[in-house]
Amino acid sequence: MSGTEIHVETGTEIRQLRSMEEFEDVSRLYATIWGTQAAGGPLPAEVMRALAHAGNYVAGVYEDGRLTGASVAFFGEPMGTTLHSHITGALSGRGNGLALKLHQRRWALARGLTRITWTYDPLIRRNAHFNLVKLGARPEAYLQSFYGAMDDAINGGDESDRVLTAWDLTVPADAAGPPDHPGRVPHGVRNVDGRPLIGPTDADTVLVDLPDDIESLRRKDPGAARAWRLAVRHTLGGLLAEGARVAGFHDRRSYVVHRTA
């Protein structure tokens, strides 16, 4: 596929990036989104330059010539099948995050790849809903403190637990369907007045609730945020380690986890 897509109806353009000036713009945009100093953003411009030069995916979305989102991915294991999407960031409220992921999907398929993986913080509800419901991706593994200590505005004061998530590109992009409705099943973690209550996880299907807004909670009540981190790490992490699978995300707040037979 061409590295450039123009969406006339929305006035946006998505294109692969080539120049240091473009990569520096992305680095500044990421610093804005993640709340860091411009020089301390999550990905330096020179690294993006090297990745793009080596044939990896570095793309930006523009609205009337202004960069409003970008995504960086590189080839991963198993080689020849997988693209690992390291970072995707977009200014909120424009739908450009989804546009970038769909562009990335088409780019990967054009190169014969069949899956895209990435990591995300399992406590952030909007990311879980986006990944599992809008895209149809599924968590595969729980990675404890994956990036070590982080001091940006989003992650600061918390451990960097992540879930490794895979997007099966052999399934049509519009086939994610509605969120899984689990019916009446027990909660492995239940949100009770903003605090996590750990329950049994021995049923065939278990719900794992998330906090309403973990990013605000980190600032306002670090103790409660820490309790959520440990509860989800223990429950969701433990279930995934035992071979359970996340089947969906219910009501924008709960992982639906199925035990394997």
Q: What is the pLDDT of residues 151-188, one digit of tens each?
A: 655 555 678 999 999 999 999 877 665 556 677 899 99
C-alpha dihedral, 155 to 159 to 160 to 166, nearest 10°: -120
CATH topology of domain 4-168: Aminopeptidase (3.40.630)
Predicted confidence (pLDDT) per residue in 243-261, tens digit: 999 999 999 999 999 987 6
Going from N- to C-terminal start, the domains of the chain cover: 4-168, 187-258
pLDDT(8) > 90: no
The mean pLDDT value of the chain amounts to: 90
Residue 127 has, within 13 A of its CA and on its CB side, a CA count of 22
Pairing of strands 82-90, 115-120: parallel
Segment among 107-121, 180-194, 215-229 with least mean pLDDT: 180-194
- Residue 47 buriedness (CB in 10 A; 0-12 / 13-18 / 19+): middle
Task: Tell me, letter by letter, the H, E, C secondary structure of the chain.
Answer: CCCEEEECCCCEEEEECCCHHHHHHHHHHHHHHHCCCHHHCCCCHHHHHHHHHCCCEEEEEEECCEEEEEEEEEEECCCCCEEEEEEEEECCCCCHHHHHHHHHHHHHHHCCCCEEEEEECCCCHHHHHHHHHHCCCEEEEEECCCCCCCCCCCCCCCCCCEEEEEEECCCCCCCCCCCCCCCCCCEEEEEECCEEEECCCCCCEEEEECCCCHHHHHHHCHHHHHHHHHHHHHHHHHHHHCCCEEEEEECCCEEEEECCC
Predicted confidence (pLDDT) per residue in 48-63, tens digit: 999 999 999 999 999 9
pLDDT of residue 9: 47
pLDDT of residue 36: 80
Residue 81's pLDDT band (boundaries 50, 70, 90)? very high
